[in-house]
Amino acid sequence: MTADQDEAAARAGLVRWGRSLFERGLTPGSSGNISVRLADGYLVTPTNSCLGFLDAGRLSRLDAGGRHVAGDAPTKELPLHFAFYEARPAARAVVHLHATHATALSCLADVDPADAIPPITPYVVMRVGRVPVVPYTRPGSADVAPLIRAKAPDHPAILLANHGPVVAGASLDAAIFAMEELEETARLVLITRGMAVRHLSPAEIADLEATFTLKG
């Protein structure tokens, strides 16, 4: 695939997945942002754009140094995205949503900051891994970058306190699938909150981690 074909496919994927996420209520209004790393730069959803109505030709195009070179102005959350790319060289996409259940978990004072998503299903271990919570920063602030860089090398998914989830993946599809798994597991965690939940054992988790390597 040529660089132009790769970019065209990435643009189409961003529009397709943005619409799907919005129509399923996974990020409301103009919330959420997605980026894809290309061979020579990045494609990013524009600032104040609704993911359900993206225009492939107006997506923000950045060069390899992160400078805006074409399309509409990019999301203000670029520090968040670039921190993930710096910390995870294999990552090819970063997805940040305001998904209801994962965002609810990010607001709770008693979740484990080292792992906010308990291992209640094998798929959250296989596709998401342990999910730490980083302290609150103002949306768009560069202050989030060192917090992400400290956690992202070991964690492809992170909760931003009082803000929501962000996930990196080896492809756009992989990042979306992991985000969906995170949100669904957060829903299960909240539904079963206060119940006697059976978690996967350390041995079961170790077996999954040894068998299914998280990428991106």
Is 77 an annotated catalytic residue? yes
Q: Single out the catalytic residue among 123, 136, 184, 209.
A: 123
Residue with tokens 């342990």: 130
* DSSP notation for 174-185: HHHHHHHHHHHH
Per-residue tokens: 87:
């910390």
Distance CA 107, CA 190 (A): 12
With beta carbons less than 8 A apart as the criterion, state whether 170 and 145 touch: no
Distance CA 125, CA 132 (A): 13
Distance CA 147, CA 18 (A): 26
- Provide φ and ψ at 156, rounded to 5°: -75, -10
Q: How many residues does the chain have?
A: 216
Distance CA 63, CA 36 (A): 12
With beta carbons less than 8 A apart as the criterion, state whether 209 and 151 touch: no
Is 7 an annotated catalytic residue? no
Query: CA dist 44 to 16, 49, 65, 187, 192, Å?
Result: 14, 11, 14, 28, 36
Q: Single out the catalytic residue among 7, 23, 42, 77.
A: 77
Residue with tokens 């996930």: 167
Catalytic residues: 77, 123
